[in-house]
């Protein structure tokens, strides 16, 4: 347990409270929550009380990964008889988003990326994500050539359908020596996040503007909570291609300390993978492009990204 973690946000349903605050304040047109069967009623009641309209889509088990190769993630277990809960300011908007999700599900767990991208764009827009970030996500889904990796990283990784590696691809392709902590999307599964989407880059003005509105709302509701969350986000995170995460400390270019992100009860977290990743990182060298060199040849080596809180 890290003393510095400040429980400003109840993450018993991942991201629920920040999403809720943003929805209630009118900062988001709609939200999408992945909820377990046990949390569904409480999450729904929360939003109904502030005038939200709900639409629920039960997620099939295989959405959590390839059933023949059980996922290290606990997604399937956690969402048993649960699914995606859409909340919007009108019943039509909530239903429209749910219908898009159902379309995705009907296509099966691994639909053609080009087709999948259309619904993903529509859902992202409906949830109020910036166009640039939605487009970047769709581009990754389509496997369009990227500037630095000519598409190879995302495309090669996608051939391993059990790996939900989108965050890793983004961290590699947009790597920068100092990323803005407000856009830290790598601790999402630990419930530590401001945004509920992946930014197109680590200085995206549209995403930063949304992050600032959320921070202001958080501080309005609980003074100091925004600073507490920023402190949790301003860390160096190692992201592995298999979705594991570690928070690390460096001395020079060496990782001298590492631990898995602290996962609140109920979050969707691959805790075992996180611990193994943290252990394997201690003593590793971090190269100038963020690659974590663990003393063995790796096709998809982990990447270390330093998130820094914005200056005063
Ligand atoms: Zn963007």
Q: How far is the CA of 110 from the centre of ligand 1 (A)?
A: 26
Please indicate, yes or no, whether residues 168 and 120 belong to a single structural domain of this protein: no
Q: Are residues 168 and 276 in the same domain?
A: yes
- What mean pLDDT value characterizes the chain? 80
Residue 148 has pLDDT above 70, yes or no: no
- The residue from 128, 143, 176 where one domain ends is 128
* The pLDDT of residue 205 is above 90: yes
Identify whether residues 248 and 118 lie together within a single domain: no
Residue 251 Cα to ligand 1 midpoint, Å, equals: 32
Q: Does any domain span residue 135?
A: no
* pLDDT reported for residue 264: 63
**Which long-range contacts (C-beta less than 8 Å, at least 24 apart) are formed by 61-67?**
62/108, 62/109, 63/105, 63/109, 65/109, 65/161, 65/162, 65/164, 66/109, 66/161, 66/162
In a domain, 156, yes or no: no
The pTM (predicted TM-score) of the whole model is 0.82
- d(CA 52, CA 293) in angstroms, rounded, equals 48
Higher-confidence position of 82 and 136: 136
Centre of ligand 1 to C-alpha 250, Å, is 29
Q: Domain check: are 188 and 300 in the same one? A: yes
| Residue 15 clears pLDDT 60, i.e. is over it | no
Give the mean pLDDT of 143-155. 46
Residues 173 and 271 in one domain: yes
* 146 falls within a domain: no
Q: Is residue 134 part of a domain?
A: no
For ligand 1, the distance from its centroid to the CA atom of residue 140, given in whole angstroms, is 13
Say if residues 265 and 38 touch (Cβ distance below 8 Å): no
The reply to whether 233 falls in a domain is yes
Residues 106 and 35 reside in one and the same domain: yes
User: Per residue in 164-187, pLDDT tens?
Assistant: 578 888 999 899 999 999 999 999
Helix (H) or strand (E) holding 48, with range, is: helix 37-48
Distance 207 CA to ligand 1 centre (A): 6
Overall domain count for the chain: 2
Q: Using the 8-state DSSP alphabet, how is residue 183 labeled? A: G
Gap from CA of 128 to ligand 1 centroid (Å): 12
Cα of 204 from ligand 1 centre, angstroms: 5
Do 222 and 280 fall into the same domain? Answer: yes
Show the domain range for 49. Answer: 10-128
Domain shared by 268 and 215, yes or no:
yes
Ligand 1 centre to CA of 214 (Å) is 16
The percentage of the chain sitting over the pLDDT mark of 70, rounded to a whole number, equals 76
CB atoms within 10 A of CB 242: 21
Residue 208 CA to ligand 1 centre (angstroms): 9
In a domain, 108, yes or no: yes
Q: Summarize pLDDT for 94-116 with one digit per residue, the tens.
A: 999 999 988 887 776 555 666 67
- The predicted pLDDT at position 68 comes to 39
Residue 137: predicted pLDDT: 87
Judgement on whether residues 191 and 303 belong to the same structural domain of the protein? yes
The residue among 69, 102, 128 that closes a domain is: 128
Could you tell me if 78 and 199 lie in one domain? no
Cα 227 to ligand 1 centroid, rounded to whole Å: 23
| In-domain check, residue 140 | no
Look at residue 157 and tell me if it is in a domain: no
Q: Both 296 and 200 in a single domain? A: yes
Q: Which of 31-45, 52-66, 159-173 has the highest mean pLDDT?
A: 31-45
The Å distance, Cα 243 to ligand 1 centre, comes to: 22
- More confident site: 14 or 275: 275
Identify whether the C-beta of residue 236 lies closer than 8 Å to the C-beta of residue 306: yes
- The last residue of one of the domains, among 84, 109, 128, is 128
pLDDT one-digit tens code per residue, 217-261: 998 888 888 999 999 999 999 999 888 899 999 999 999 999 998
Q: How far is the CA of 124 from the centre of ligand 1 (A)?
A: 12
Lowest mean pLDDT among 158-162, 184-188, 212-216: 158-162
Nearest Cα to Cα of residue 211 among 234, 187, 238, 230: 230
Whole-number Å distance, alpha carbon 130 to ligand 1 midpoint, is 6
- Residue 90 and residue 19 share a domain: yes
**pLDDT above 60 for 154:** no
Give the pLDDT score at 108: 62
């Amino acid at each position: 347990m890290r003393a510095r973690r400040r429980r400003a946000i109840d993450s018993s349903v991942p991201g629920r409270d920040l999403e809720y605050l943003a929805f209630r304040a009118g900062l988001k047109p709609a939200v999408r929550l992945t909820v377990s069967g046990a949390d569904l009623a409480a999450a729904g009641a929360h939003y109904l009380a502030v005038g939200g309209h709900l639409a629920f889509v039960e997620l099939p088990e295989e959405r959590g990964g390839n059933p023949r190769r059980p996922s290290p993630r606990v997604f399937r277990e956690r969402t048993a008889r649960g699914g995606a809960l859409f909340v919007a300011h009108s019943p039509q908007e909530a239903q429209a988003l749910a219908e898009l999700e159902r379309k995705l599900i009907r296509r099966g767990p691994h639909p053609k990326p080009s087709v999948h991208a259309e619904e993903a764009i529509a859902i992202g827009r409906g949830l109020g994500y910036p166009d640039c970030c939605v487009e970047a996500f769709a581009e990754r889904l389509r496997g369009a050539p990227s500037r630095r990796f000519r598409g190879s990283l995302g495309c090669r990784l996608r051939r391993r359908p059990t790996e939900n590696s989108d965050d890793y691809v983004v961290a590699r392709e947009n790597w920068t020596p100092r990323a803005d902590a407000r856009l830290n999307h790598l601790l999402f599964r630990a419930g530590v996040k401001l945004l509920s989407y992946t930014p197109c880059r680590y200085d995206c003005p549209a995403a930063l503007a949304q992050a600032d509105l959320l921070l202001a709302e958080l501080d309005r509701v609980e003074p100091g909570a925004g600073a507490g969350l920023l402190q949790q986000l301003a860390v160096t995170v190692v992201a592995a291609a298999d979705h594991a995460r570690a928070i690390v400390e460096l001395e020079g270019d060496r990782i001298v300390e590492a631990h898995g992100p602290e996962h609140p009860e109920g979050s969707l977290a691959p805790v075992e993978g996180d611990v193994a990743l943290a252990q394997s990182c201690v003593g590793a060298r971090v190269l100038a492009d963020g690659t974590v060199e663990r003393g063995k040849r790796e096709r998809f080596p982990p990447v270390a990204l330093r998130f820094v809180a914005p200056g005063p």
